[in-house]
Structure 1
Amino acid sequence: MASIVAGKFSITHVKPQIGSIVESDKQTLLSGVHGAELRDLLEERGVLVFPRIDFDDEEQIAFSKTIGEFVPEMHGKVFAISMDKKVNPQADYVKGAFYWHIDGTMQDVPLFASLMSAKVLSKTGGNTEFCNTYAAYDALPAEEKEALEGLRVIHSFYNSQLYVDPEPDIAKMEEWMALGTNELPLVWTHKSGRKSLVLGSTAQYVVGMEPMESTRLLVRLRSWATQERFSYSHQWSVGDAVIWDNTGTMHRAMVYPLDSDRRMHRTKLAGEEAFA
């Protein structure tokens, strides 16, 4: 794939439709000199990989700020993603990450991007997969694009949790349902003029469509968007950092032993435009 080299900074595209590897050093990345270039590349490529860059938490925060507006987590600046409840009390919630999703479909303005770095890996499994929902939309036949235009989808937290726990008791279901629903466009027309598909595990049904047809459409589009040519599976090494454009990709974690010590640290960048 194409490679662009300038000093201590090089870019290699992984696939034609998604993903670029950025080879650099901490000093260059933290300086912010390539911040605008990396932001543009992120929006174009969907996912950027910084192999074995070994950011500590403060460096990860500082680098995040060179790309966009840093947003602290609810319980600290950085979120430790782990299935160990001593490390992450929200471990049960994290299980939803094993299914394709976009972060923020329960809000009107989703996160712009997330940056995740690998601290401890499981011995097996644990890749993170991404798919480019801009490229998936662009490749649809013209007649299908026309048919999808104007369709609205109801998203709910409880729909995503049913992937994890398909037979909850009523108390648990009521807890999930209390978080409400959100109606979003199936096709997001961005301020840039580009369009992307809004799908994932929170997508419950298409407004006004017969239930079986709604499910068939959402599953078919998910299969289309996550096919090989639009997707990238990152096999982690300790110290890797990966940033993804949350407005133009979906992502999921691949299965790994839940009793492993796998631990990732995530930082977030504030959303900049509403679903439209």
Structure 2
Amino acid sequence: MTLNASAEWEATSSVANRAIGTVTSVDVRSGAVVAQGQKLYSVDLRPVHVAQGTTPMHRDLQLGASGPDVAQLQQMLITVGFEPGDVDGVFDVGTVGAVRSWQSREGIEPSGAVALGDIVFVPELPIRIRIDPDTVYTGAILSGGERAITGLGAPRFTIALDDRQAELVPSDAAVVVQGPSEPWGAVIERVERDENGAAVATLGTGDSAPVCGDECAEAVGTSGTTLFSSQITLVPHTSGLTVPAAAVSTDASGVAVVVGDDGAKHSVTVVASAQGMSVVEGVPEGMRVRVPFTEREG
């Protein structure tokens, strides 16, 4: 069965911009993986950097300040090669010196204080991000507070099924998704109904790896949904001894059997059936089996 698979990045976090002014450059593309201290974009020629932390940037950080946001800044400074002293959440003279050195390297006036819009804290780094292209673009005017940055997990692959397709598709069916350069192997992990009652199959790989492997960044767009042709295997390829499917019946105990030329019943295991034939186990090669005759009128 050939259907379209939809791929969409799952959002793990959303972070607000706090810089105010005109965007003068965008320095990372959407879908890029960013790390501690990396420059994301500039506002009024002043760079905005990313750092790790669960406390959002909500004030200027300067001499005398204290709190978890200061500790997050100190950790970022250490990671990018500067020494503020202990990561104790106290903005002391050591932190002032480290901030000045960092600002000088980044082309910022070395004031020793970090302005509100100079850093955005995200919960984890490194992380793949999406910078909203409708909000942050060269020439855009920012007023502060825009939800500009989204942390991305892995693309989620799904296939929409109508009711008939949902009945035909096995719950663990193999799927081949056609990537831009090579096919990706996947399996159907579950089939669920959405809020409208439509059946949706979720694809996976059987482990934590994404369906698109190492090609996710290039293959899946960070805005909206990307479609890929996919093939669902309804009946797995298999080999073995075959008999006409009509030759297989069940006895009184529910066991599958075939009847030989001598009239004896032989228990079999049906491995797969398709196109009027069944692959079976439990009978020798070359044995002739009976196919029940059905009398028809006319």
Sort the TM-score into its range (normalised by shorter chain).
Answer: under 0.3
Structure possessing the higher radius of gyration over alpha carbons: 2
Per residue, is there more helix in 1 or in 2? 1
Tell me the TM-score normalized by structure 1.
Answer: 0.20
Instruction: Select the structure that is richer in strand.
Output: 2
Greater RCO (Cα-Cα under 8 Å, separation 6 or more): 1
